[in-house]
Amino acid sequence: MADYSLAQLQAELTRIDLLIQRAVRLMQLAGQSPDDALRGLYVSDDKAAALAARPIRFAELSPAQLPPEEQMAFDAAISQARKQARAIEQQARRAGVTLRLDHLCRVFGLDAFDRDALLICLAPALDLRFEQLYGYLHDDLTRKQASPSLILDLLGAPGPDRLHQLARFAARAPLLRHRLIECIAEAQADHPHLLGQLLQPAPFVVAWLIGHPPDRLPFQPGAHCITPDTEQIADACAWLPPDALDMLNREVASAQAVPDTAPPALVVWGADALARQSAGMLLAHQLGRPLLLADAALASLDERPLDVLTAWMRDARLLGALLCLRGWERWADEAGNLPAALVSALIDYPDWLVIEGRTGWPAVSTARRLVWVLCDLPAFEQRRRLWQRQVERAGVARADDIDYAALAGPFALSAAQIRDAVSRARDEAAQRACPLDAALLFAAARAQSSPALGSLARKITPRYAWADLVLPDDQVALLRELVVTVRSRPLVLEQWGAGRKLAASEGVTALFAGPPGTGKTMAAEVVAAELGLDLYKIDLSTIISKYIGETEKNLERIFSEAEHSNAILFFDEADAIFGKRSEVRDAHDRYANIEISYLLQRMEAYNGVTILATNLRANLDEAFIRRLQFAVDFPFPDEAYRLRIWQTLFPPQMPRDASVDFRVLSRRFKLAGGNIRNIIVGAAFLAAGDGGQVTMRHLLHSARRELQKMGRLVDDSDLIA
């Protein structure tokens, strides 16, 4: 198929070439000798005298200076070139082809003068002989590009009116405002006045005019153009939250119903990056246009942000693409506000525009309608569908064995995290040569949780199950209710609607209170193992600070990171942080109370699972206890429970002498489970160096050491086997 645009460009440049030939002839008639090898590098005495004697005419060249026969010949040739260009335009019109040069002029409002000025600047980029001709016409061989003076000589008539055309080369004029042509920086330093500045076309404009495909166009760093395929659009519909998808559909339908209305600018924001990225792709697909993705975070640091943004806008309009601006926060100040010039450029942009970022764009506009599209972390039902979709696409899973609701419930992951989790689980299954099952998916989901929490708290790997807990039935029932509550949050809060009015937060908070060693940490591990969530124990030494305000900052870091970790936070010795508020007697009391009040509010705002453990429940602030959902008391075990603890904690594979009597041990020693565990471990080490079998003597000796460590009196009669 013929490239009518390239043929038109050739015909137009032929006309420009004739204008240049005429100018060269005029220079020769004015006494310039092309045979002077040093012409343009010096000013002779004769030329200086001629310049001094010349009156002010505002122009070097005038076609009227040509002999009549030469003038008629040039006019005829120029007219013939115009006819050839018009003929190509008619052929393109009949073929239904939009010519690139005409499209550029229409999009950016260029008139005939601007169009020819652009062609004059373009000529050296397409044929290097024009560089020598421009050097000749400038009478300076180093000036090989077009200048306003040269353009006016070629296109304008002599006289004062010529200077009015200088406004065509002002910064706000179309040619430079849209960066169709650019001033050469080095030349500006030598010729600060407008007439002498050298101009060149933007590389993108040159490549686009001669028909380079989009994947070979010289975009600014950080930008590239895509045309979403069917699979990408299907993914975009899955990644986007239902509300955001409906809003995009409404905007497109409204624009199609009233095509003459000015399109809005869509501010796509929220925590889910993949959903944000999908909005632009889906909108471009619905409009039937390519998508120009421009990321300010990847833009060149050597150019002004406004110049970069202008170039992206120019490129999008030339390609007929939907412009999607990402990473605009890089150009914002500390308050999150963009410079006024950037805001004005975005507001004035006449086409569809997507402004994408993690936070909502703070600008407001009375001149243009803005539509805010929230792409927050997917809700439960969308997460469930995403898990199922990604697993089915992996094609290596036993779908019947996977409970997608169980995956979607506790893990508040983004769309990208779900995608990456399934990919990781699939690769792990391939490495192990086993099917992709729920266990691998749960492990991958935990791995997608934010790893930074590990620098703020200690991760605990759960080692216990329900069978290891030795507690009264009511306490075990409370713990199981806690698990059910965590699992049922999506159903109750989202699908049943309780979260809209009845519940202030999605978080689940629990208090484990009881003497040391009664199983509080073990219970937290059992809950974490049952839910498949990571458990992080908060180290109080890294949180509590004597400096005012530092404790709150430290705790805020933990809660903020935990928001994205889907982990259980376990605060041991919680009364040290969440203690009672006191009467204000001095500034320290006032700040201490402010600290506690802040902690209460932060706990309520946290959407995860928080477990507080304390040995002294009475020391906790009453207002705080009232806001907890669960309070589980861990009683000191009586003899019957101590017997169960001995039997449960003693490993079955550990060699044991027949003399060991757990009933005697549980009756003689009124100890909690933590102390019993220490006694068993100590006895095992004694037995390892003494016969290789745990005896009653080893257990009694270890019990003595444990009692001494606790500071309790040792009754020797209790230590007789």
User: What's residue 577's pLDDT?
Assistant: 64
pLDDT at 721 over 80: no
pLDDT at 450 over 80: no
Tens digits of per-residue pLDDT, 559-574? 877 776 678 889 887 7
Tens digits of per-residue pLDDT, 627-648? 788 889 999 888 888 899 899 8
List Cβ neighbours of 97 (8 Å cut-off, separation of 6 or more). Answer: 4, 5
- The average pLDDT across 302-316 equals 94
User: Is residue 679 within 8 Å of residue 687, measured between CB atoms?
Assistant: no
Q: Is 3 helix (H, G, I), strand (E, B) or coil?
A: coil
- CA-angle at 52, arms to 50 and 57, nearest 5°: 90
- The average pLDDT across 103-108 equals 96
Question: Domain residue spans in the chain?
Answer: 4-211, 223-374, 380-448, 466-633, 639-719
User: Is residue 112 within 8 Å of residue 15, measured between CB atoms?
Assistant: no
Check residue 449 and give left, alpha or beta (phi > 0: left; psi -120 to 50: alpha): beta
% of the chain with per-residue pLDDT over 70: 83
- The average pLDDT across 249-261 equals 86
- The average pLDDT across 8-26 equals 90
User: What's residue 607's pLDDT?
Assistant: 78
60 or 317, which is more confident: 317
- The average pLDDT across 610-620 equals 80
pLDDT at 97 over 60: yes
Query: Domain 466-633, CATH 3.20.20.70 — does that match?
Result: no
What is residue 586's DSSP assignment?
S
How far is Cα 490 from Cα 497, in angstroms, rounded to an integer? 10
Q: Rounded mean pLDDT of the chain?
A: 83
The model's confidence at residue 46, banded by pLDDT at 50, 70 and 90, is low
pLDDT at 365 over 80: no
Enter the tokens of residue 706.
Answer: 């444990």
How far is Cα 104 from Cα 145, in angstroms, rounded to an integer? 22
What is the DSSP track for 372-404?
EEE--S--HHHHHHHHHHHHHHH--B-GGG--H
553 or 366, which is more confident: 553
User: What's residue 586's pLDDT?
Assistant: 44
649 or 316, which is more confident: 316
List Cβ neighbours of 470 (8 Å cut-off, separation of 6 or more). Answer: 519, 637, 641, 644, 645, 648, 673
Tens digits of per-residue pLDDT, 220-245? 999 999 998 998 999 999 999 999 99
- The average pLDDT across 620-626 equals 71
The model's confidence at residue 141, banded by pLDDT at 50, 70 and 90, is confident
Q: Hey, which of 35-39, 137-141, 290-294, 614-618 has the most confident mean pLDDT? A: 290-294
User: What's residue 574's pLDDT?
Assistant: 72
How far is Cα 237 from Cα 490, in angstroms, rounded to an integer? 22
- Which of 278-287, 433-442, 472-481, 580-589 comes out lowest in average pLDDT? 580-589
Distance of CA 89 to the CA centre of its chain: 45
- Which of 408-412, 618-622, 682-686 comes out lowest in average pLDDT? 618-622
pLDDT at 408 over 60: yes
pLDDT at 56 over 50: no
- Domain at 380-448, CATH class: mainly alpha
- Which of 385-389, 599-603, 649-653 comes out lowest in average pLDDT? 599-603
Task: Say which residue the tokens 């696409």 belong to.
Answer: 393
CATH number of 639-719: 1.10.8.60
User: What's residue 308's pLDDT?
Assistant: 95
Enter the tokens of residue 579.
Answer: 């203690």
User: Is residue 468 within 8 Å of residue 436, measured between CB atoms?
Assistant: no
The CATH architecture annotation of domain 223-374 reads 3-Layer(aba) Sandwich (3.40)
Tens digits of per-residue pLDDT, 654-670? 998 888 888 988 888 88
- The average pLDDT across 386-415 equals 81
- The average pLDDT across 106-129 equals 95
Tens digits of per-residue pLDDT, 148-184? 989 998 887 666 677 788 889 998 999 999 999 999 8
Let me know if the fold of 380-448 is the same as that of 639-719: yes
pLDDT at 582 over 50: no
User: What's residue 49's pLDDT?
Assistant: 57
The model's confidence at residue 715, banded by pLDDT at 50, 70 and 90, is low
